[in-house]
Structure 1
Amino acid sequence: MAGRLAELSLRAIRTVAALPTSDVGLIGRRLYSFGAAPFGRDAELAFGPGDNPLSVLGLGPGGAVRELLAQPYEASTHAGWISFSRVGRQANDAPACKLYVSPRPEALAAAFPVVAATFARLEVGSFKVGRGAAGLLRPDKIVAYFDDLDHLSSVAKALSHALRRAPAQGAPFTAEITGDGLLSWGRDPRPVEGAALQSWRSWITARLAEAIVAVRRPGEDPAPAVTARLAEQGVKNWVMA
């Protein structure tokens, strides 16, 4: 594996594996949250003294992005997310793949209007953006869903050009598209009848946590053994083969 996201993912494994715990759930949660930006001075300046992420995104009352999306999309709020679904589109409970867009928090005011306009123009069926400051500090803050990889690729190509100057945060455990970590992709595990749907990053961090507990040894780098165990489960370059 090569690239910034691969390096970030391996650093996450090494950092979390060093924790003095064998609690698989805790290890999985730490892996999942790895790479989140702290609410420091840059984020405070980006979100303003009123801590108003909606305004930063242009989604507040009268905001330009809100008006842009109002006609083609229906918006809904969920725990941690604001979701947008294209009007008249029949929802697919199991999209084929997903695109992660990960600008740094201080770049959101400039980047999100470009992302939203590109999604609208290229008829992305559904997408979501993190809700509140915590949602926008997470690395996987913007996620779009696709029924086929060709559509995802065309949108990613457009965004890679439109956002070429945007600083990247990067979502660990996702597959590289751009070398800087700004754009990446994944594929959710196939739904199991009777079980709740699980996201790609939730699934893989749970598997990684199990692998860390099973294979780590004092004084040894855990990353090779952990990634080898994931490869046995069909994961290559942070995507399910």
Structure 2
Amino acid sequence: MADLALLFARLSARGLLEMQTGDGPFRSGPASLDPLFPQALRGLFARAQAQAPASHAALVQALALRHLSAPRLAGKLYRFNTLPGRAAPEPLPEADARFLRSTPPGWIYWNHRARAVSAALRHKVYLSPVPSAFGETLQRLHALAADCDVTAYKCGAGAQGAARPDKLVVYFADAAERGRFVARLEREFAGIAGQGVPFARPLDPRGFAAMAEDPPPGPGERVSWRAHVAREIAGTLAAMPAARTSADALEDLLRHLLLARIDLFGWMPDGALPKERMA
């Protein structure tokens, strides 16, 4: 029922559907959410805890820290679920006949030599092994990326890179290329414990893999999907009156995310309904 209620809420909020509650008038647009949304909210938040535990925990943390400024809270949300880690083990994969290696601040990139890396690479998969499995996962990823002709991938550099939840990011030219990669994940990375990436769509129950789709780049700025969601959450909470209860603040926050076209179940842009799942 939560799925159906949320679908109706999306359509009505955009003016594509009119809803009637009880004997009241038919209403459309954002105001139509008021009678329906509290009912959908209970099932929605419970389901989020089961299906996207890292995102659910981040929302709980955001509500507890809503007294912070929006930029500071956004930074904490973006880094949420970072764990104590160790330095990335050497040797890391080197450049080879297929991939060119580069080291911008904080990251190590491997780019396919025959493909241009551009803002069009909005489709991504996160691999989130626990820090102790970072080196093993990276070695397996390098072999799989070559076999699947992945466009580009990167890993966080040093101890901080190994500790962050989004420590390995794989970029794809389109959803089809991503789908071919996802189909291999369970077989290639079986048995590796996951850490969990907030604000990305989980691909498996252990928190090892997730995916996202970055917003189209704006003038002079390219923002990742997770950073975009963190900013939306932080800005909304920071603007709320301090006297709002946590329950009311949560309801207001989820209503805002719905109107901002963020998929509250899957943590993807609303309307992007990819079918990829680890088998």
TM bucket (normalised to shorter chain) is 0.7 to 0.9
Match of 2:169 in 1: 143
Query: What is the aligned counterpart of 1:23 among 58, 64, 69?
Result: 69
8 Å Cα contact 1:5-1:170 kept in structure 2: no
Query: What is the aligned counterpart of 2:105 among 79, 99, 115?
Result: 79
Match of 2:262 in 1: 235
Query: What is the aligned counterpart of 2:227 among 198, 202, 226?
Result: 202
96 and 90 in structure 1: CA distance in 2 versus 1, 3 angstrom threshold: same
How far apart, CA to CA, are the structure 1 residues paired with 2:140 and 2:193?
14
How far apart, CA to CA, are the structure 2 residues paired with 1:187 and 1:232?
18
134 and 5 in structure 1: CA distance in 2 versus 1, 3 angstrom threshold: farther
Letter in 2 for 1:76: S
Structure 2 unmatched runs, 5+: 1-46, 271-279
How far apart, CA to CA, are the structure 2 residues paired with 1:115 and 1:167?
15
Provide, for residues 81-119 of structure 1, a one-character-per-residue CA deviation record: whole Å limited to 9, x for no partner: 001111121223221311101000111232221111101
8 Å Cα contact 2:82-2:163 kept in structure 1: yes
TM-score, normalization: structure 1? 0.84
Query: What is the aligned counterpart of 2:79 among 12, 28, 33?
Result: 33
Superposed CA RMSD in Å reads: 1.9
How far apart, CA to CA, are the structure 1 residues paired with 2:194 and 2:50?
10
| TM-superposed deviation, 1:80 | 0.9
Larger radius of gyration: 2
Match of 1:180 in 2: 206
Query: What is the aligned counterpart of 1:225 among 228, 243, 252?
Result: 252
Structure 1 unmatched runs, 5+: 60-64
Aligned residues: 220
Letter in 2 for 1:21: H
Bigger relative contact order, structure 1 or 2 (CA pairs below 8 A, ≥6 apart): 1
Provide, for residues 108-156 of structure 1, a one-character-per-residue CA deviation record: whole Å limited to 9, x for no partner: 2322211111011100011110011101100000001111112112211
TM-score, normalization: structure 2? 0.73
